[in-house]
Chains A and B, each alone.
Chain A
Amino acid sequence: MAGKVIVITSGKGGVGKTTTCANLGTGLAIRGKKTVLIDADVGLRNLDVVMGLENRIVFDLVNVVEKTCKLRQALIKDKRFENLFLLPAAQTKEKDAVKPEQMVELCAELRKDFDYVLIDCPAGIEQGFKNAVAGADQAIIVTTPDVSAVRDADRIIGLLQSREIQNPRLVINRVRPEMVRKGDMMDVNDVNDILAISLIGVVPDDESIIISTNKGDPAVMDSGSKAGEAFRNIVARLEGEEVPFMSLDYDLGIFDKIKRIIKM
């Protein structure tokens, strides 16, 4: 089999790349897809703690590319899910400890055994980004509805095109329906119009993400979590299903309309 290698990137930090990676990976594994998550953020690893696997690390990405251990020795098997594995980043190395060619080789190796290889890309557009995208054939861009994140996402789209990763797909994270309703946050259409790439998911801002990250259990496991549901929908879309976008109830209520008129 030849699996898909998808990089999860954003340009700007703190928009939810790692959370998205953890949730999509977990969601795919729950659906029975053999999935491996690669933390490409060498020096600032975090996917391990978000996944709750931080105590099980023996070897890491740098050990693998330097061939000081075998690939399968460094893969941490998630005991909760049959099909889920993590390749953690090194914490005490620099970004240039890994080269793009090594990532290409690693991804080629992994795609033989896995349905999905998800790469958690570091923030920025330097070496770490170049490594993370080198072996990928698809990209998911995560943004939040604010000017700086959208601007950086636009830059990343341009960079991906010049690297021949076509048709990146967009996740708009941390949407706050109440603020959208009041006209104080860009809505899905605004962001989508500006970036003009295909949308694969809209994730509401949700406290359950903080709680699930505290515990190391991705929100996608929690059937009561709104954000978890949004991530499950993205997983289904990755698998080619047509799932309607969740209604975030944007309509301006009559009271808001009256309030707005009075304010004028």
Chain B
Amino acid sequence: MDLIGKFLKDDTTSKNVAVERLRLVLVHDRANISPGLMEALKEDLIAVISKYMDIDEEAMEINLNSGELSAALVANIPVKRIRR
């Protein structure tokens, strides 16, 4: 069955190439979020984290890194003190 499946399913058709290329390019396109949205996200994050710990808001960094196949939100948030 696997062998037959392999024969009938051809991954190298030009449309499969198109789908693959599109998926990749859209990961990058979609990762370009606006600075305004990033700022709003940052403020919300500060509000949530501040409930549990004191953070250095000035030194905090948030970036959206897009890789080959995915995008990741990378945050570097220096903690001053944990609230107890």
- Interface residues of A, Cβ cutoff 8 Å to B: 146-147, 150-151, 154-155, 158, 162, 180, 182-187, 190, 194, 252, 257, 260-261, 264
Contacts and interface: CB of A to CB of B under 8 A. Distances in A.
A79 to B, nearest CB: 44
Interface string B28-72: 011000100000000000000000000000000000000000000
Minimum-distance CB pairs A-B, first 3: A183-B13, A184-B14, A186-B15
A151 B18 CA distance: 11
A158 B30 CA distance: 8
A155 B34 CA distance: 13
B22 A150 contact: yes
A52 to B, nearest CB: 36
A176 to B, nearest CB: 11
A154 B13 contact: no
Contacts of B81: none
B29 A155 contact: yes
A146 B17 CA distance: 11
Given A154-B30, A183-B15, A186-B15, 19 more contacts: A147-B18, A147-B21, A147-B25, A150-B22, A151-B29, A154-B29, A155-B29, A158-B30, A183-B10, A183-B16, A184-B13, A184-B15, A185-B15, A186-B18, A194-B23, A252-B8, A260-B10, A261-B7, A264-B7
30 contacts: A146-B18, A147-B18, A147-B22, A147-B25, A151-B22, A151-B29, A154-B26, A154-B30, A158-B30, A162-B34, A180-B15, A183-B10, A183-B13, A183-B14, A183-B16, A184-B14, A184-B15, A185-B15, A186-B15, A187-B15, A190-B18, A194-B19, A194-B22, A194-B23, A252-B8, A257-B8, A260-B8, A260-B10, A264-B7, A264-B10
Instruction: Specify the main secondary structure of chain B where it touches its partner.
Output: helix
A177 B55 CA distance: 58
Contacts of B7: 261, 264
Contacts of A252: 8
A256 to B, nearest CB: 10
A62 B29 CA distance: 35
Interface size range of chain B in the complex: 10 to 19
B9 to A, nearest CB: 10
A190 B29 contact: no
Contacts of B19: 186, 190, 194
A190 B19 CA distance: 7
Contacts of A257: 8
Contacts of B14: 183-184
B46 to A, nearest CB: 23
A252 B10 CA distance: 12
A147 B14 CA distance: 11
Contacts of B10: 183, 260, 264
Contacts of B18: 146-147, 186, 190
A163 B5 CA distance: 45
Contacts of B8: 252, 257, 260-261
Contacts of A162: 34
A147 B16 CA distance: 11
A257 B14 CA distance: 16
A264 to B, nearest CB: 7
